[in-house]
Amino acid sequence: MPSVEYNTAAEVTEQLEERLVESLGGDTSVNRRTVLGGLGIAGGAALGLGGSGANAVPAEGDAHDEHGNFGVVEEYQDTNFDPHEFLTTFNTGRRGRKNVPQRIYEEDGRTVREFEFTAVDTTITIAPGIEFEAWAFNGQVPGPTIRAVESDLIRIQFENLGRHAHTIHPHLRNLAPEMDGIPQNGPGVLKTGESFTYEWLAQPAGTHFYHCHSLPLKEHIHRGLYGTIIVDPDPARVRQNPRDYANYHGPITEEFRERLVAEANSRNHEHPENDAVNEMVVVMNSFDTNFDGENEVYAANTRAFAYGVGETDGDGNWAPGETKRPIQIDKNTLQRVYLVNSTEFDFINSFHTHSQFFDYYDHGTTLLPTSKTVDTIMQTQAQRGILEIDYSTHDPGLYMFHAHQSEFAELGWMSFFEVV
């Protein structure tokens, strides 16, 4: 019965979340082993939260901060970041989040999608009462999702308002060394108050990663300076050059060509066929709350258990203001997940669906699946891909998905699809 299913899932989510928060508390010396030990001995009852919670971050001047003291030059508050809104917000130049000034226009016969980015020092919430001192693009972690069409020009007006030097490095086929966003090329790193305009051709079609490339890399990425670039395929180009979009050596029949074009139409946000697919961005990330080089919290889109089950009437109706809830999907609509791994300090992260299998397109650069009918995939840091999932034959209800490193799931990276 739905009431049992929803209430049980809510209880499990609450217990795991409360144990994680209680284990972390305000003690910056707590490491992952301690947190997992706390989870193991907690027993069946959920632990109390205990007070209002404290920042699980080093104090100013803590030796773990390789750059020295924190200093807020321009602070964004985290109260407006909603993992559910982030999931389906694509900044295209025409539309996106209000904190991302953007526009689209034609220039020299090419479509230009222009965005304004800033790097800021801020505080983000990663679990109830647990905050993390982040460095963020436009004040959010993950950074804004950029979406363009193959061969468009992506123009980023970037200003560094943070205390430390930053860049933006794109995982694209970039032909201009000065636009690579690394310390050795072009403007190099941008110090506080400096700005630069990056220009990249949107190529190849696929799911891509961007991040700060200042040293030490592990800290600039881990602190939150990363995001996703989605480059939609151009169906006309697919029709003309089908072999560029498929690892296939057989004959190109008209039927095969049309199959690829249909997939390209489905992935292109400017094509009507794209409206028949529910698309979402999931960035797997993690947080080292005591800066010992080991993560204590894992998440999909920053907040631990954000897509778990919160307060509900047992039939999927959420309490007013409830921020912890499953991703609701229509069973008759194909689900497309743009998946990116930004996890630092762990060799791999993973994505596993319960009771369902999916097709996976590694890096999203092919219009044919690189893995068919799988229920678990692994990604190294910066690896990304596209998952296509069909729940049309499933009964309505809750279907879990999570990292299949069990400790990651217990430390925040556990979620549900709610099929309706």
Q: Which of helix, strand or coil describes residue 235?
A: helix
Higher-pLDDT residue of 75, 349: 349
CA distance 139 to 119: 7
Higher-pLDDT residue of 61, 419: 419
Give residue 39's pLDDT: 60
Give residue 25's pLDDT: 75
Give residue 46's pLDDT: 35
Instruction: For residue 403, give every residue at least 6 positions away whose Cβ sits within 8 Å of its Cβ, in sequence order, or none.
Output: 284, 298, 349, 350, 351, 352, 409, 413, 414
Q: What is the CA radius of gyration of the chain?
A: 21
CA distance 237 to 49: 56
CA distance 228 to 250: 33
CA distance 25 to 140: 23
Check whether 246 has a pLDDT greater than 90. Answer: yes
Average pLDDT over residues 171-193: 97
Lowest-confidence pick of 69-73, 114-118, 356-360, 381-385: 69-73
Give residue 328's pLDDT: 94
Give residue 51's pLDDT: 31
Q: What is the 3-state secondary structure (H, E, C) of 63-108?
A: CCCCCCCCCCCCCCCHHHCCHHHHHCCCECCCCCCCCCCEEEEEEC
CA distance 60 to 418: 42
Give residue 67's pLDDT: 42
Check whether 29 has a pLDDT greater than 90. Answer: no
Return the structure tokens found at 85.
């809104």
Lowest-confidence pick of 116-120, 126-130, 389-393: 126-130
CA distance 207 to 68: 35
Sheet with 384-389, edge to edge strand ranges: 297-300, 277-287, 334-341, 384-389, 358-362, 371-374
Give residue 315's pLDDT: 74
CA distance 202 to 150: 5
Check whether 63 has a pLDDT greater than 80. Answer: no
pLDDT confidence tier of residue 24, bands split at 50, 70 and 90:
confident
Model confidence pLDDT, tens digit, residues 76-113: 345 578 999 999 999 999 999 999 999 999 999 999 99
CA distance 148 to 141: 20
Lowest-confidence pick of 3-7, 10-14, 69-73, 76-80: 69-73
Lowest-confidence pick of 19-23, 59-63, 222-226: 59-63
Residue 3's alpha-carbon distances to 134, 189, 394, 397, 399, in angstroms, are 39, 54, 18, 10, 15
Return the structure tokens found at 1.
């019965």
Polymer length in residues for the chain: 420
Give residue 48's pLDDT: 30
Lowest-confidence pick of 110-119, 277-286, 310-319: 310-319
Check whether 410 has a pLDDT greater than 90. Answer: yes
Average pLDDT over residues 395-420: 96
Give residue 2's pLDDT: 57
- pLDDT averaged over the chain? 89
Domains observed in the chain: 2-58+275-419 (2.60.40.420), 78-235 (2.60.40.420), 236-267 (no CATH)
Average pLDDT over residues 188-203: 98
Q: Which amino acid is at 124?
A: I
Instruction: For residue 320, give every residue at least 6 positions away whose Cβ sits within 8 Å of its Cβ, in sequence order, or none.
Output: none
Give residue 394's pLDDT: 97
DSSP one-letter code for 166 = B
Q: Which of helix, strand or coil describes residue 249?
A: coil
Give residue 27's pLDDT: 64
Check whether 41 has a pLDDT greater than 60. Answer: no
* CA angle centred on 303, ends 27 and 166, rounded to 5°: 85
Orientation angle between helical segments 2-24 and 32-41, nearest 10 degrees:
130
Percent of the chain with pLDDT strictly greater than 70 = 88
Give residue 40's pLDDT: 56
Check whether 239 has a pLDDT greater than 90. Answer: yes
Average pLDDT over residues 226-231: 98
Contact 112, 105 (CB under 8 A): yes
Indicate the pTM of the whole model.
0.90
Model confidence pLDDT, tens digit, residues 149-163: 999 999 999 999 999
Return the structure tokens found at 272.
């009507």
CA distance 378 to 348: 6
Phi and psi, residue 315, nearest 5°: -120, 20
